[in-house]
Structure 1
Amino acid sequence: MKKYLKHIITTLFIVSSLAVIANDDRFEKANRYYTENQYEEAIEAYEEILKSGVESSYVYYNLGNAYYRQGLLPSAILNYERALLLTPHDRDIRHNLNLAYSQITDKIEPVGEFFLARWFSNLRNNTDSDTWAIISIVSFILFLAGLLFYFFAKTILVRKLTFFLAVLAVLASGITFAFSNNQKHRLINRNRAIVFSPSVTVRSAPEAGGTELFVLHEGTRVKILQTIGHWLEVEIEDGNVGWIHASHLEVI
């Protein structure tokens, strides 16, 4: 129940944040800079909004667009990824992110994913964490209502129907809560990063003298597995693993 309340509070906070942004003169000024092709000024204005503590997919997305217009692909990708974390169902963000990835040096073929896992992942990304939480709560309420009707129904047919609907509702509540929790976990425990150095050698050990395994270039996304000092063990999409100094990466 506490998790449900946390999701509700987070949803209200996000809604209020969007309202603040919609009425924020700084956001309007940044958008004006962007439409007038003053991308450096737009970048500075969007960054200033983020530094003030406001986190919004709209700001990240527009900032990513401004960086893209400047030809700064790593920064564009970083902000598109951050925007996608907040609104994983947004097709415009995903389209621009894929466009930016198509222009980086490294073309890494991902490891094949079981079709059922891929289907659940796509389903989960149809909306954001807070919407899934609301659906989960509504489904649980329907489950309780179904039980109430089941116990007080006078006919066997109605009892069977309400029991079946209650089972469906509690399954839907569990699945959607799992979706919400997964997305919230990704937001809080960010374990993916973007390479910002023009090129970096991935090594076999967390030290400069480690064996050279392969080279990555700016804009490539990696998954962080563990941290030792200033070194990060990372995994790329084809399954290869190695160590990179933290100075070469920016966490999404």
Structure 2
Amino acid sequence: MTVSADQLAKIALDAGALIMQVYATDFDVERKDDSSPVTEADEKAEALILSALKALDPDLPIIAEEAATAGNLPEHGSRFALVDPLDGTREFVSKNGQFTVNIAIIEHGKPVMGVVFAPALNRLFVAASPFEAWQAETVSGEGVPSENKRSILSIRKAPDIGLTAIASKSHRSEETNQFLETLNVADIISAGSSLKFCLIAAGEADIYPRHGRTMEWDTAAGQAVAEAAGARVTTTDLT
């Protein structure tokens, strides 16, 4: 069975609702081996997403952040799901709202479908295919927004006055600052998690440079959304 984009969106909304339940509590924060934070919300959301995906398509391999970090990597072929149940755990811990649920479908090494949901901001971004992406405002308890409540995502033309760059809230480096100095940048805004990809897709920013460590589950769903909206995700040497 092929999982649809709306089904992925429903799973992301359910995971987001669970995350917000934890968000409202005085939750504990633990540390992984790399010193990055992990919370009860990460683990509960991942369990929910994995269970829901397996119910929809038992044969679909799934790679998820917390399980992979623990060394549990399933065999996967040309098509699999790639999940980050809570991207931006630092944002979650600091309670600034800029964290996301991320679910992507990968085919032959490329994200072809993806969902990014920011539950604290009520913003849902969906790449239904490599050529179609939309966003919608969500309302708790109402499920996936209907088609008449969705707006098509499309990148904007670079403004003549200069680019708006978007940079990480938690991982901005001096190398990033130096790179931005080489561009015609008029404004720099900060955002957390995979929201950066989505704000470019929505025409709210023009470029997102990232220098340093990242993982595929952090970027896959956001890349699907950005590319479906017309953006290009590449290395600094354009390869």
Determine which structure has the larger helix proportion and give its number: 1
Determine which structure has the larger strand proportion and give its number: 2
Instruction: Give the TM-score, by structure 1 length.
Output: 0.29
Instruction: Give the TM-score, by structure 2 length.
Output: 0.30
Who wins on radius of gyration, i.e. which is larger? Answer: 1
